[in-house]
Amino acid sequence: MLDWKLLAGAAGIVAAVVFVIWLIFFCARRIREHLKGRELDAMEGHDFEYFCADLLEDHGFKSVEVTRGSGDYGVDVLAEKEGVTYAVQCKRYDGPVGVKAVQEAYAGRDYYDRMVGAVMTNQYFTEPAVKAAKKLKILLWDRGYLESMMEEEE
């Protein structure tokens, strides 16, 4: 004969275990997200450039190349995706990114004869930088965009 009390107790234990497993995965994901953000902010500038290059490669960009440190004409990464060539300025900052980064990407795009210029950052852009980017047709990839790219990798 079936002992309903024993069965109900077992079902409760199973439900509790499932909840604990779910809680562990939820917390682990939140911790990973937090640590990723801290990793972005802790990198040195040149390390951030290589990080951005790797992130682009992970998202289907080809011929990804980090330019030399000095004399790069405002571009840190050169890449290509689906026949479109990119010149990317990488900015690992502690605060908002201003117009100067947009101007560097604009100049570097033309110097390297690329179709698209972009600025990638661990931060966000000032309103003047956003306005300049629209006028100069420069893509702005901010912290939120980078974090969404990082999440897609998982």
pLDDT of amino acid 27: 41
Residues in Cβ contact with 97 at an 8 Å cutoff, skipping those fewer than 6 apart? 91, 119, 121, 123, 124, 125, 126, 129, 142
- What is the Cα gyration radius of the chain? 22
* 108 close to 74: Cβ distance less than 8 angstroms: yes
pLDDT of amino acid 44: 83
* 122 close to 153: Cβ distance less than 8 angstroms: no
pLDDT digits (tens, 9 = 90+) for 96-143: 999 999 999 999 999 999 999 999 999 999 999 999 999 999 999 999
How far apart are the C-alpha atoms of 84 and 60, rounded to whole Å? 12
State mean pLDDT over 24-45: 57
Does pTM top 0.75 for this prediction? Answer: no
Judged against a pLDDT cut of 90, whether residue 19 lies above it is answered with no
Q: Phi, psi (5° rounding) for residue 118?
A: -150, 155
* Run of H or E including 79: strand 77-81
Higher pLDDT, 142 or 74: 142
Average pLDDT score over the chain? 83
